[in-house]
Amino acid sequence: MDSGMISKIQKSKQYAQERERFQIDALSVTIKGTNNLHKTSFKDGEWQCDCDFFKTRGRCVHTMAVERILQNAELEMAAPPIDE
């Protein structure tokens, strides 16, 4: 691997520890439900889902599950760096 790529990998590790650098602007996720596939998306600070429950309640198992995954990812990213 060339030295340019090695330095980029190092920098990406540093960035990954600095959660404040990241803001999710848009995201699209397909979730395998028990019976069907559901499409969730995040745009302009809000979640959407194509399931019937979401239409009446504004939140559903799909959006909440994705939010949960992202919260876990954020915690991992905010964790102190592992000594190598």
User: Which residues would be at the binding site for Zn ion (CB under 5 A)?
Assistant: 38, 49, 51, 54, 60, 62
Least spacing, CB of residue 53 vs Zn ion, in Å: 6
Closest approach of Cβ 70 to Zn ion, in Å? Answer: 16
Reference 45, options 24, 14, 64, 60; nearest CA is 24
Sign of CA dihedral 43, 44, 46, 49: negative
C-alpha span between 60 and 29 (Å, rounded): 14
Residue closer to Zn ion by CB (options 42, 62) is 62
Which element (helix H / strand E) includes 42? strand 37-43
The minimum distance between CB 64 and Zn ion, in angstroms, equals 9
Q: Which is nearer to Zn ion, 38 or 42 (CB)?
A: 38
- Pick the closer one to Zn ion by CB: 42 or 54: 54
